[in-house]
């Protein structure tokens, strides 16, 4: 079966950011492959584009430029927040306010996302909400493990149901 819309893809990959021979930034293996439903918006669009039409056991190697990957960093994603929201039990948390520390944050609509402490001022903190891999070209190599039709339940839920790994 070939990779097309509404197929479940299982693959292993290695990700590098400075060329195909550079240090590995991220890697999957047979015990923890990447599994996703192709064509439902779960993955970087260019990532899916390069995999389209491949089958089990096919190898792949491609580069996604920063603009088509996680994007370019933007000053619009630097947000100044009052230092008071980082208090724990009414006191400033030295554990939280560390330059470069990634903190889970929630906006006023309940969406969760990570931000990096970029600057600490007297009364405020500058948080960087750019993706950690913004500005990076992505170099992928790997192999397709399997391709199958997604079940109706998977399509309704928007994610893969692997044996022993899914609970609602």
**How many helices and strands (H and E) does the chain possess?**
2, 11
Q: Are residues 53 and 96 in the same domain?
A: no
- Least confident window among 83-87, 88-92, 158-162: 88-92
DSSP string spanning 17-75? SS-TTS-EEEE-BTTB-EEEETTSS-S-HHHHHHHTT-BTT-EEEEEE-GGGTT----G
Residue 147: name the closest of 14, 20, 33 by CA.
Answer: 33
User: Which H/E stretch holds residue 27?
Assistant: strand 24-27
> How many CA atoms does the CB half-sphere of 72 hold within 13 Å?
4
Q: What is the pLDDT of residues 42-65, one digit of tens each?
A: 999 999 999 999 999 999 999 999
Q: Are residues 94 and 110 in the same domain?
A: yes
Domain of residue 103 covers 75-128
DSSP state of 150: P
Number of domains the chain is built from: 2
pLDDT confidence of residue 163:
63
**pLDDT for residue 98 is more than 70:** yes
Quote the mean pLDDT of the chain. Answer: 92
Q: Are residues 66 and 80 in the same domain?
A: no
Is residue 32 within 8 Å of residue 154, measured between CB atoms? no
Q: Are residues 64 and 29 in the same domain?
A: yes
pLDDT confidence of residue 167:
44
Four-CA torsion 160, 131, 74, 46, nearest 10 degrees:
-40
Using alpha carbons only, give the angle 65, 66, 67 rounded to the nearest 5 degrees. Answer: 95
In a domain, 138, yes or no: yes
In a domain, 107, yes or no: yes
- Least confident window among 93-97, 108-112, 134-138: 93-97
CATH number, position 48 = 3.10.50.40
pLDDT, average across residues 126-141:
96
Q: Is the pTM here over 0.85, yes or no?
A: no
CATH number, position 115 = 2.40.10.330
In a domain, 94, yes or no: yes
In a domain, 38, yes or no: yes
pLDDT confidence of residue 86:
87
């Amino acid at each position: 079966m070939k990779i097309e819309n509404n197929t479940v893809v299982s693959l292993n990959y290695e990700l590098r950011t400075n060329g195909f021979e550079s240090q590995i930034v991220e890697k999957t293996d047979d015990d923890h492959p990447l599994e996703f439903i192709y064509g439902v918006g779960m993955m970087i669009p260019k990532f899916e584009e390069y995999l389209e039409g491949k089958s089990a056991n096919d190898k792949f190697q491609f580069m996604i430029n920063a603009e088509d990957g996680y994007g370019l960093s933007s000053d619009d994603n630097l947000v100044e927040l009052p230092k008071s929201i980082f208090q724990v039990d009414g006191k400033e948390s030295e554990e939280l306010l560390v330059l470069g520390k990634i903190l889970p944050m929630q906006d006023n609509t309940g969406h969760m996302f990570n931000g990096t402490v970029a600057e600490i001022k007297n009364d405020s903190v500058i948080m960087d909400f750019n993706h950690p891999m913004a500005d990076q070209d992505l170099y992928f190599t790997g192999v397709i493990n399997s391709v199958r039709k997604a079940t109706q339940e998977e399509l309704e839920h928007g994610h893969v149901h692997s044996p022993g790994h899914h609970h609602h």
